[in-house]
Amino acid sequence: MSIQTTSASEQLWQDNVPEKRDSSSTETPSIINQIGSDLLLSHFGQPIGRIIPTTVETVTTIESSVVQPPPSPSRQDTFISLQKWEGTVSYIGEESFMACLFDLTAPGPDEEAEIPIKEISLDDRELLKPGAVFYWSIGYQDSKKGQRTRASKIRFRRLPAWRIEEIKGAEDDARKIGDLIGWTRESDSDDYLLGELRK
């Protein structure tokens, strides 16, 4: 399949695609922040089930004119989430990537986002692949000193590696269901057309 980006001017249909902004004008300092996974889970309020992913998050703080003291390990900021999405990477361009979003705050119609790659922490860049799953959260970051900044956090799910037991389990399961429903039987040859459509 050829990948093509359509520009609004050449479209044959009416739409109201918002104009693409120049992302270079919105340079904001990125702070790589490591927070314990329990805390992250509470931030995202996401029932992860049995698998607790290891996460690294990228925090872009806006209003960076506020002078931030260097982070000290003894205190932790609080993050108040205003908006959360689950995303799947669909396409990776040179400076941005595209993703399908599912709104976890107020589920609604499917959305797609274009997000600058600089929003992804260097540690997470290796995870930026088509099909990768991430969580995107926007909210307020309150420091212990009472300073509030707006923040955008993206963390990629580090899914665990396949274990041999899981693979063997899937194979066993496949064999059982295959035998039960007649999958992988030999194809019947008697009802092939063999030219009889011409009749």
Partner 1 sequence: MTPEKNDESRPPSSDEVEISVFGPGFGECIVLHVGENNWIIVDSCIQVDQKVPAALAYLKKIGVNPGDAVRLVIATHWHDDHIRGIGKVLEACNTAQFICSEALNTAEFLTLVRAYGKRIMMQQTTGIDEFNHVLDILGKRAKSATRNDVPKFAIADRILWDKGNSRLGNTSISCRISALSPTDAASLASKLEIVDLLPHEKDSKRRLQALTPNQAAVVLWVNVGGVHVLLGSDLEEISGSNMGWSTIVQSAILPEQKARFFKIPHHGSRTAHCDSVWSDMLEANPIAVLTPFRNGSVTLPTPDDLRRIIALSPNTYVTAAPTLSRSRKRIPAVERTIKEIGGSIRQIQHVMGHVRFRIRPLGIGKIELFGSAAQCMGENFRPKCNR
Q: Which of residues 58-97 bind partner 1 (CB under 8 A)?
A: 60, 62, 82-83, 86, 88, 90-91, 93, 96
Site residues for partner 1, 171-190, by CB under 8 A, read: 171, 173-175, 177-178, 180-185, 187
Report the 10 Å Cβ neighbour count for 31.
16
What are the distances in angstroms from CA 24 to CA 8, 168, 196? Answer: 21, 49, 65
Q: Does 123 bind partner 1 (CB under 8 A)?
A: no
Q: Is 3 helix (H, G, I), strand (E, B) or coil?
A: coil
Binder among 45, 69, 112, 144 for partner 1 (CB under 8 A): 112
| Run of H or E residues at 88 | strand 78-92
Query: What tokens appear for 21 in the block?
Result: 């902004």
| Run of H or E residues at 178 | helix 164-181
Closest CA to 36 of 2, 73, 67: 73
Binder among 32, 52, 122, 159 for partner 1 (CB under 8 A): 159
Q: How far apart are CA 4 and CA 194, in angstroms?
A: 41
Q: Is 125 helix (H, G, I), strand (E, B) or coil?
A: helix
CB of 71 to partner 1, least distance (A): 21
Closer to partner 1 by CB, 27 or 144: give it.
Answer: 27
Closer to partner 1 by CB, 56 or 115: give it.
Answer: 115
Binder among 68, 116, 123, 147 for partner 1 (CB under 8 A): 116
CB of 194 to partner 1, least distance (A): 7
CB of 159 to partner 1, least distance (A): 4
Residues 38-57 as x/- pattern, contact with partner 1 by CB under 8 A: --------xxx---------
